[in-house]
Amino acid sequence: MTYSAPDWNEIPEAEFRATIRECIENECPAELRYHPYRFPPEVTMPWYKALHRRNFIAPGWPVEYGGMGLNPSRHLIFIEEMEAMGTPWLHDAGVRNLGPAIIAWGTEEQKAYYLPRMHAGEHIWCQGYSEPSAGSDLASLQCDGRLDGDNVIINGQKIWTTSAHVATHMFGLIRTDRSGKKQEGISFMLIDMSLPGITVRPIANLGGHPDFCEVFFDNVVVPQSCILGEVNQGWKVARSLLGFERIWAGSPRRAMKVLRQLRRELETQGLLDDPLWADRFAKASFDALDAQDMYTQFADLVRTDGKVGVEISALKIWSTSIFQNLSEMLLEVTGSRSTLSTSGEDDLLAPYYESRAPTIFAGTNEVHLNILARSVLGLAKSE
Amino acid sequence: MTIVDPQTAEMLRETVAKHCERHADGALIRASRGEVPGALAADVATMAELGWLAVSVPEDHGGLGLAVSATGIIAEGLSACYSSDPLTGLFLGARALVHAQESDGLLAQVVEGSATPVLAWQENAHDFASPLPATEYRNGTVSGTKRWVASAAQASHFVVSAREDGRGVLVLVDASSDGVSLSFGTRADGTPIGELALTSAPSTVIARGSDATSALRRSLDEGTILIAAELMGHIDRMMKLVLEHLNTRKQFGKVIGSFQSLQHRASNMFVHQRLARSVLTTTLGCADLITEPAEFGQRAARLRARLNDTTQLIMRESIQLFGAMGITDENELSLHIKRCLSLLGYLGNSTEQRRYWTALSAQSARTGDTN
């Protein structure tokens, strides 16, 4: 095949947007669009496959791995178009989060095996970090991995594992050494969820959806070749991934989505000309558009420096906070309609529910305030 | 107009920083309160010598052909002198001439500092939406009262907005003409702000109708970006002072910066500081290239609203974190606080910026895709 993709960063913006829209219109069925919650993977798989086929599934990956190699501002436009046309939320922690880590840390065998399979949607990944006693204090995690010849025998538990009930694989942090500092005995493992000894129990969230789970490991035998990076050096791998995660968690795309919803509501109700609502809407718009400026700058830094500085915590805190503010404003704009439980595009409560988690995951916002105080502002360790 | 390149930007930053190291003088500012012209960051001759007046003038008038991208850097840096005066007023005057396409050589004199036109546009406290002025131009003379005239003490000319047969007009008035009477009020930081009374003052029209209103609008939008840039400088300096205090002041046997409740307040300030910085950097990096008026106005309004709100937050929190020391005039913090109070309500407070942005959204063809 001689087809070669254009340089997505160089083609005119209008053409770039048109290409994405064309893809969505032709490949994403109407019944999948504007749905407030995440569908099970089999429902969205035809859409996922279409993105895979067109090499649109991993827009941030380098082109040689099937990505689009998008720079941050193009990446934002990509997301913007996807959100504006209501494309469904995918189980894509693999391509989004793990992919860049495998590209950075993986052996050639790991890259050759895992990358094409997550790209194709054959492997669906979940992230196994948190444990009942290791939340904000993640490095104290206890899920045990005993090295045994070429294998690791895993026993223990993970919790708040998003998509674990539908995932084929988990990238998880497992304690493989207890002799040194708590950060130094952790391995980053790629675990096949079909292995004997793994039990998954979904947990219903506030919105009533089973989005996250508890995962139990009972003598699960995983080959050591499934360790990403060095054994006991998983904290380093996880930290490098946190950079991507924080950029992702700090993306204003969710807030922008609610902003568009707010605008539609105000328009429909004829409230955009009401000075009070117009002022509140302008304020909400500034909060979200300013977050976009901030996001683009951090993303640019990541691209040019290849690393995320600790200041990124500011972005995460801001974007997740305004997501909540906007979702609360949506309830207010819709008056008594906001008290009703509905579904589909009219679900006014969905943004409220969905915006609760981001201030908690990827480091609670309070943990991020601590990070800023210590690492950016240089304030003394608190007791 | 082009965007300042990174090397020139860095050079400008260094020059401004060096200037401030030598000239920042809080004692002089305190001693000069209520006086005309009061303490200045630099006098006109110095600004001309350093090239700061040439920055915003097009190259074919002998300037550097840069606008807010470069002047913003100067305004921000001059916050280390606790004020950028008389930069803003001179910038507004020069830009109004540029946008009105003034062509009889005055801009070349601006570059040298031998002419110092300033903009006299405002009449009432809420004029940021720039309604048709009450000041009237008729048969070669202009009459009316202009208030909040920045850098009026330095003015060689006034660029005056007026009405003529129900349409907007920009006219040029020589400061030494008959019928020109200048008095001064005192701003929160003790510096003067001009009130200009014009009684049949001889004047020359430099733009009429939509040319005049759009030239004025663009100048005001650029001016508001400049104010935002200066506010950013004050924010950074207030943050620095507060952090020094948190790291040295001891209570209960330890530095107060080790208390988590105070750390979280400081970190929250940083979140807003970083956000404001992002919006400023993005805006300075694109503004001069924006030709579409609504897009430019929306960019400027959003930036200014963010900087205003962030400044208020940093002022409030800084005073609180300094405790009793925060409410003294003697504290260096007070110089920044008073300067910010002199700027926040000038060229559009946050509410006015939002109203302006909303009006432009309604106008804009691309309503769904706002700036």
Q: Which residues of B touch A290 (CB under 8 A)?
A: 275, 278-279, 302, 306
Question: Structural domains in chain A?
Answer: 13-90 (no CATH), 125-233 (2.40.110.10), 250-376 (1.20.140.10)
Q: How far is B366 from chain A (nearest CA, A)?
A: 14
Query: What is the full DSSP assignment across A309-331?
Result: -TTHHHHHHHHHHHHHHHHHHHH
Q: What is the mean pLDDT of chain B?
A: 95
In this prediction the pTM is 0.91
Helix orientation angle between A275-305 and A234-249, rounded to the nearest 10 degrees: 150
Pairs of residues, one from chain A and one from chain B, whose beta carbons lie less than 8 Å apart: 106
Query: How far is CA A201 from each of CA A40, A166, B183, rounded to the nearest angstrom?
Result: 16, 11, 78
The 3 state secondary structure assigned to chain B is CECCCHHHHHHHHHHHHHHHHHHCCHHHHHHCCCCCCCCCCCCHHHHHHCCCCCCCCCHHHCCCCECHHHHHHHHHHHHHHCCCCCHHHHHHHHHHHHHCCCCCCHHHHHHHCCCCEEEECCCCCCHHHCCCCCCEEECCEEEEEEEEECCHHHCCEEEEEEEECCEEEEEEEECCCCCEEEEEEECCCCCEEEEEEEEEEECEEEEEHHHHHHHHHHHHHHHHHHHHHHHHHHHHHHHHHHHHHHHHCEECCEEHHHCHHHHHHHHHHHHHHHHHHHHHHHHHCCHHHCCCHHHHHHHHHHHHHHHHHHHHHHHHHHHHHHHHHHHCCCCHHHHHHHHHHHHHCCCCCHHHHHHHHHHHHHHCCCCCCCC
Exposed/middle/buried for B185, CB within 10 Å: 0-12, 13-18, 19+? exposed
Q: Which residues of A touch B270 (CB under 8 A)?
A: 314, 372, 376-377
pLDDT for the residue numbered B367: 45
pLDDT for the residue numbered A303: 63
**B residues 56..75 contacting A (CB < 8 A):** none
β-bridge mates for residue B193, sequence order: B185
Q: Which residues of A touch B258 (CB under 8 A)?
A: 379-383
pLDDT for the residue numbered A84: 80
Dump pLDDT digits (tens) for B165-223: 999 999 999 999 999 999 999 999 999 999 999 999 999 999 999 999 999 999 999 99
User: Do A378 and B271 count as a contact with CB atoms less than 8 A apart?
Assistant: no
User: Do B274 and A289 count as a contact with CB atoms less than 8 A apart?
Assistant: no
Q: What span, in angstroms and rounded, lies between the C-alpha atoms of A150 and A156?
A: 20
Buried b (16+ CB within 10 A) or exposed e, A174-190: bbbeeeeebbebbbbbb
Q: Which residues of B touch A281 (CB under 8 A)?
A: 358
Fill in the DSSP letter of residue A88.
P
User: Do B358 and A281 count as a contact with CB atoms less than 8 A apart?
Assistant: yes
- Residue B130 sits at the chain A interface (C-beta within 8 Å): no
Residue B117 sits at φ, ψ, to 5 deg, of -70, 135
pLDDT for the residue numbered A299: 78
The series of mean pLDDT values per 10 residues for chain A, 383 residues long, is 74 94 94 85 94 94 93 81 87 91 95 97 95 92 96 97 95 96 96 98 88 95 97 92 76 89 94 95 98 88 68 95 98 94 82 93 93 95 75
> Which residue of A136, A259, A285 is the best one to mutate when testing the B interface, meaning the one whose CB has the most B CBs within 10 A?
A285
Question: Structural domains in chain B?
Answer: 212-363 (1.20.140.10)
Query: How far is CA A2 from each of CA A5, A11, A265, A301, rounded to the nearest angstrom?
Result: 10, 20, 47, 34
ipTM (interface predicted TM): 0.95
Query: What is the full DSSP assignment across A176-201?
Result: ---SS-GGGGEEEEEEETTSTTEEEE
Q: Which residues of B touch A288 (CB under 8 A)?
A: none
> Which residue of A259, A316, A382, A383 is the best one to mutate when testing the B interface, meaning the one whose CB has the most B CBs within 10 A?
A382
- Residue B251 sits at the chain A interface (C-beta within 8 Å): no
Rounded to an integer, the average pLDDT of B226-252 is 98
- Residue B281 sits at the chain A interface (C-beta within 8 Å): yes
Q: How far is A382 from chain B (nearest CA, A)?
A: 5
pLDDT for the residue numbered B130: 77
Q: What span, in angstroms and rounded, lies between the C-alpha atoms of B78 and B245?
A: 23
Q: In percent, how much of chain B has pLDDT > 90? A: 94
Q: Which residues of A are catalytic?
A: 245
pLDDT band at B51 (very low <50, low <70, confident <90, very high): very high
β-bridge mates for residue A192, sequence order: A169
User: Do A263 and B368 count as a contact with CB atoms less than 8 A apart?
Assistant: yes
User: Do B263 and A289 count as a contact with CB atoms less than 8 A apart?
Assistant: no
Grouping H, G, I as helix, E, B as strand and the rest as coil, residue A263 is helix
pLDDT of B227 above 60: yes
pLDDT for the residue numbered A2: 41
Dump pLDDT digits (tens) for B6-39: 999 999 999 999 999 999 999 999 999 999 999 9
Interface of A with B (CB under 8 A): 260, 263, 272, 275, 278-279, 281-283, 285-286, 289-291, 293-294, 296-298, 311, 314-315, 317-318, 366, 368-370, 372-374, 376-383
Could you list the beta-strand ranges (E) of A35-143.
125-128
pLDDT of B246 above 90: yes
Fill in the DSSP letter of residue A345.
G
Q: What span, in angstroms and rounded, lies between the C-alpha atoms of B73 and B169?
A: 31
User: Do A293 and B370 count as a contact with CB atoms less than 8 A apart?
Assistant: no
Q: What span, in angstroms and rounded, lies between the C-alpha atoms of A23 and A20?
A: 5
Element at A18 (helix H, strand E): helix A13-27
Residue A147 zone, left/alpha/beta (φ > 0; ψ -120 to 50; rest): beta
Q: What span, in angstroms and rounded, lies between the C-alpha atoms of A117 and A176?
A: 27
Q: What span, in angstroms and rounded, lies between the C-alpha atoms of A375 and A310?
A: 7
Residue A349 sits at φ, ψ, to 5 deg, of -80, -20
> Which residue of B242, B260, B269, B274 is the best one to mutate when testing the A interface, meaning the one whose CB has the most A CBs within 10 A?
B274
User: Do B275 and A294 count as a contact with CB atoms less than 8 A apart?
Assistant: yes
Residue of chain B nearest A379, judged by CA positions: B257
